[in-house]
Amino acid sequence: MNIILKTVSKQDHKFLYDLLKERNEKINISHKKMPTFKNHEKFVMSKPYKKWYIIMNEKEKVGSIYLSKFNEIGIFLKKNIRGQGIGQKSLEMIVEKNPEKRYLANINPQNHKSIKFFKNNNFKIIQYTYELIKNK
Ligand SMILES: CC(C)(COP(=O)(O)OP(=O)(O)OC[C@H]1O[C@@H](n2cnc3c(N)ncnc32)[C@H](O)[C@@H]1OP(=O)(O)O)[C@@H](O)C(=O)NCCC(=O)NCCS
């Protein structure tokens, strides 16, 4: 395993779009529906996060990790390479590259694997957030 975090560039739009397609509703808090490729590109180019990286293993793109303006960490790995410690390594690397006092992770309560992952990596639960959706 040789993990590198590479800043997202225009060449990564297609990879990030394909990665987004692997998401299901359990994982997803912010994206309920798949955007069009054009809208996806617009989103990536709008610099939505403070830092956004492609996770590379042995020169292969295997996932993506970001740090938001509020120091929230989001991570998503391709299915076939999960459970090998790549997530943990990437988490350590983003923290090392971006020293902050405090980091957050927003996780869907149904996403048990991810809850376990963040707990294993010393994150502590601080709140439950509820939402009310109104169809106008
Ligand atoms: C959550 C996620 C990032 C975790 O990444 P990961 O690389 O699979 O996690 P790790 O491999 O570091 O750890 C997961 C498990 O693999 C185990 N593991 C670690 N190194 C390993 C190795 N070399 N070989 C085998 N297993 C290993 C860990 O012990 C852990 O096992 P456990 O669940 O039984 O405790 C990844 O599963 C993912 O992308 N999920 C979908 C997106 C998502 O839910 N994101 C969270 C919202 S931000």
> Mind listing the domains of the chain with CATH numbers?
3-120 (3.40.630.30)
> For atom 15 of ligand 1, which residue has the closest CA?
83
Q: What is the pLDDT of residue 27?
A: 64
pLDDT (average), residues 29-56: 91
Strands in the chain per DSSP E: 3-7, 51-57, 60-67, 73-77
**What is residue 3's predicted lDDT score, i.e. its pLDDT?**
98
CA angle 101, 50, 55 (to 5 degrees): 95
> What tokens does 105 get?
């992770």
Ligand 1 centroid to Cα of residue 135, in Å, is 37
Separation of CA 85 and ligand 1 centre (Å): 6
Least confident window among 17-26, 32-41, 86-95: 17-26
Q: Provide the 3-class DSSP secondary structure of residue 110.
A: coil
The residues, ordered by sequence, that sit 6+ positions from 36 with a Cβ below 8 Å of its Cβ are none
Cα of 38 vs centre of ligand 1, distance in Å, is 31
Residue 32 CA to residue 106 CA, distance in Å, equals 15
State yes or no: pLDDT of 126 exceeds 60: yes
Is residue 51's pLDDT more than 60?
A: yes
Q: In the prediction, which pLDDT does 39 show?
A: 97
Q: What is the pTM of this model?
A: 0.92
The residues that bridge with 72 in the sheet, in sequence order, are 104
pLDDT for 135 equals 86
The whole-number pLDDT of residue 61 equals 98
